[in-house]
Structure 1
Amino acid sequence: MMFLIVFSVLSVCVTAGDLENVLKLKDVPAAEAFINSTEVAVIGFFETEAARGYQEFVSAATQMKTLSVALCSEKQVWAKYGIASDTISIFRKADLHQEHLNLSEAKKVDADGLVRFMTMNNVRYVTEYNQASAVGLFQSEVKTHVLLLADRGRADSDPLQERFRDLAPKYTGKMLFVLVNGSEKSNARVLEYFGLKSHDLPRIGIYDGTLDKKWLMPSDEITTERVQTFCDSFLAGELQKQKEAETPEDKTEL
């Protein structure tokens, strides 16, 4: 019994300390500034600290070090974003998407589950591909993915990522930019899908989730201009026309 009492006290202390580190949004301008300040913003809309999921949200928020997280109980802000009841909302710039988790409708609410919810929906201008991020990527309404397939251990990887990241905001709402680490064994199937081996990297590819088709940019130096031309050619329908015109013998690239 004494152990349970001590554990309960410690839990309350940790929660109180965590709460101090979570931003409180007091009005609409503050909420707008917060959302505009980051690629992915998470807001916990709770009426009171006694609301279902409140403590679990604070606990999950402290574990998500790379995410910008805030709390809001102001109904004026709720109205601005169409919130009617206690809800956890994620605002993303890359695909102009808002994901809402209505806590009154959730069968189970725990910190681990909320961490998974935030992790899966952490879709950025450049999202590193893994099992968790794949869920958010494929659930997005933006179905076209531009992939940088690169071995992150190679010396030329970082500059490539910088050029890739600089280009991504230009295609907001049209294409999602994805980094695939070719040195990860779990990504072997992605390389295989594009007909690549690790020694072929780095390469740039496009995947159309609606058509379930892929394109590889011809192997050569990866420059901002070449990647932009590749993306623009896809959006203009030129790559699709080229694929339709190919004979089976022409498809050695894929």
Structure 2
Amino acid sequence: MFLGVFCLLVVCVSAGDKKNGSVLRLKDVPAAEAFIDSEEVTVIGFFETEAARGYKEFLDAVKQMDKLPVALCSEKEVWAKYGISSDTISIFRKADLHQEHLKLSEAKKIDGDGLARFMTMNNIQYVTEYNQASAVGLFQSAVKVHLLLLSDRGRSDSDPLQQLFRDLAPKYTSKMLFVLVNGREKSNTRVLEYFGLKSRDLPRIGVYDGVSDKKWLMPAGEISTERVQNFCDSFLTGELQKQKEQESPEDKTEL
């Protein structure tokens, strides 16, 4: 109970601080653990001093990240906890249990816009909307299997389907990344074509395996929790791969 309340307070303070032009500062390991556990994705700027290279640019980038919880930490005990040895910007994700570290000493160029792009690209949540920025983080993740909800977000069934997706996603942590593809976006036309779909066919559920570069569509019909879960499980157990594919072989294609 106490930890839950503390996590909530951390998030509220973080949001408030960002609006006031400052960022939450983490003073010890328990505070850092609570902060990281408070959201699906969190960012910590590990800077030894305010004079450090990239510090001001980091604060500039933070102003652009309205919904992403961000904190600062100069406490070496916390640095040791997360394997930080020099000024670093770190992103902590629950969806694939990943930590992405940007060592500022190794960066050739540092500016606020560039750091904001770094945080945006790596903002991979339990359910991530597919776009040009998020695609980078999705394909760089060690989790190469993507479960896609290809949906026309203008339809009335869109929100319930997204909620179904969000409810299931945590069960497949580090096994699958759940991705929302808005079929109304022209930039996503290629994704629909890759799955052999048109906007009139939506909503549909598909799985993409980045290792084999193969795809599967869940048979058309009701999109229910049970059907989606069975579809996921059949892929993870290998049953889906064993089924005879009805489509002809195709050249390797990236989304």
Q: TM-score if structure 2 supplies the norm length?
A: 0.89
2:218 matches 1:201:
no
Equivalent position of 1:53 in the other structure: 54
Q: Residues 171 and 149 (structure 1 numbering): CA distance in 2 closer, same or farther, change over 3 Å? A: same
SS at match of 1:153: coil
Q: CA deviation at 1:21?
A: 3.4
Aligned: 1:158 with 2:155: no
Give the number of aligned pairs.
Answer: 233
Q: Give the secondary-structure state (helix, strand or coil) at the position aligned to 2:30.
A: helix
Structure with bigger gyration radius: 1
Q: Letter of the aligned partner of 1:220 in structure 2?
A: G
- 1:226–1:248 CA distance, 2 compared to 1 (3 A): closer
Corresponding residue for residue 190 of structure 1: 191
Mark the runs of 5 or more structure 2 residues left unpaired by the alignment.
1-16, 249-255
- Matching residue of 1:86: 87
Pair 1:246–1:50, CA change in 2 (3 A): closer
Letter in 2 for 1:83: I
Per-residue CA shift, 1:62-95, capped at 9, x if unaligned? 2101101000000000000000000000000000
Distance 1:79 1:220, change over 3 A: same
Q: For 1:207, what is the secondary structure of its paired residue? A: strand
Distance 1:42 1:248, change over 3 A: closer
Distance 2:171 2:102 in 1: 29
Which residue of 2 is the match for residue 178 of structure 1? 179
Q: What residue identity is the alignment partner of 2:40?
A: E
Kept in 2, the 8 Å contact 1:146–1:204? The answer is: yes
Q: Which runs of 4+ in 1 moved over 2 A?
A: 16-21, 245-249
Calculate percent identity across the aligned residue pairs. Answer: 79
RMSD of aligned residue pairs (Cα, Å):
1.6
- Are the equivalent residues in 1 in contact too, given 2:18–2:63 (CA < 8 A)? no
Equivalent in the alignment of 1:8: none
Which residue does 2:102 correspond to in 1?
101
Question: 1:121–1:136: 8 Å Cα contact kept in structure 2?
Answer: yes
Matches of 2:82 and 2:245, distance apart in 1 = 48
Residue correspondence of structure 1 range 94-133 to structure 2 within 5 A: 94-133=95-134
Higher helix share: 1
Shift of 1:247: 5.5
Query: 2-side partners of 1:161 and 1:31: how far apart?
Result: 30
Distance 1:20 1:174, change over 3 A: same
Residue 18 (structure 1) shift = 6.4
Gaps of 5+ in 1: 1-15, 250-254
* Amino acid aligned to 1:57: F
Equivalent in the alignment of 1:11: none
Q: Tell me, what secondary structure is at the counterpart of 1:104?
A: helix
Mapped to 2, the partners of 1:101 and 1:201 lie a distance apart of 38
